[in-house]
Homo-oligomer: A and B are copies of this chain.
Amino acid sequence: MLERIRIVLIGTSHPGNIGGVARAMHNMGLADLALVAPRCEVITQDSISRASGADHLLHEAKVYPTLEDAVADCTLAVGASARSRTLPWPMISPRELAERLPGECQPENSHVALVFGREDSGLTNAELQRCHAHVHIPTNADFSSLNLAAAVQVIAYECRMAWLSQQGTVNTAQEDNDALATHIELERYFEHLERTLIAIEFHDPAQPRQLMARLRRLYLRARPEKMEMNILRGILSATEKAADQHRPRS
């Protein structure tokens, strides 16, 4: 899916921004960069420095004279737009865009273009009207101008999230749960804990004041692992030993 997503930059004027876009793309696994009538050199010290290791995207970038040429083979073109225009267009959020991508990218040879405008003036109405939809990154109404690389970063991140969730691997899910303490291990711990608290005279079973219930709630919430249970049991044993060692015998 990600290889079918093309980032199209129109009339970019700062090489550093192209470099920043390349870095953001490569970070998120996008590789297809198209430049429409750039108003600056593409390969410069600044663009290579901002690309920070993703400069192969700069070298592989295709340069086109017009938006038409850049998106000719695309089945979907979505333009990034900060403002609502005189003629309202279908407007989607980056997340809504991302949700459409897996379906849009499924047909063989399909390509999707995500189009970003000039640093100073964005996309023209003519360019926006060549797009199927407009994507608007929700920003602070008082300060809506995003840096070009930052805008690509947000959109590319949503693309990657959609791709990951399609893979079924978006779960940052926990390391395997094999290691979690079992119920019986927890219960043995609570018994040991109560004995120890009595030994150090912190707990009086005749006046329990919900102490054990509170401690249960705390430790159960933490979902202790076996290894952690061993540490806590070790602490209890050391506590008993320290309390008992010098205790006067009756």
A residues touching B (Cβ–Cβ < 8 Å)?
Answer: 20, 23-24, 26-29, 52-54, 88, 90-96, 136-140, 143-147, 149-150, 153-154, 157, 160-161, 164, 170, 172, 174-175, 197, 199-202, 211, 214-215, 218-219, 221-224, 227-228, 231-232, 234-235, 238-239, 241-243, 245-248
Contact = CB atoms under 8 A, between A and B. Distances in A.
A223 B221 CA distance: 9
27 contacts: A26-B140, A26-B143, A27-B139, A27-B140, A27-B143, A29-B140, A52-B147, A91-B172, A93-B172, A95-B161, A136-B172, A137-B157, A138-B161, A157-B157, A197-B235, A199-B242, A200-B241, A201-B242, A202-B235, A202-B238, A214-B227, A214-B228, A215-B231, A218-B228, A219-B222, A239-B243, A245-B246
A221 B174 CA distance: 13
A242 B200 contact: yes
Contacts of A136: 172
Contact of A27 (B23, B29, B150, B246): B150
Nearest to A154: B157
Contacts of A161: 93, 95, 138
A247 to B, nearest CB: 6
A247 B94 CA distance: 53
Contacts of A29: 139-140
Contacts of A222: 218-219, 221-222
A96 B161 CA distance: 12
A2 to B, nearest CB: 9
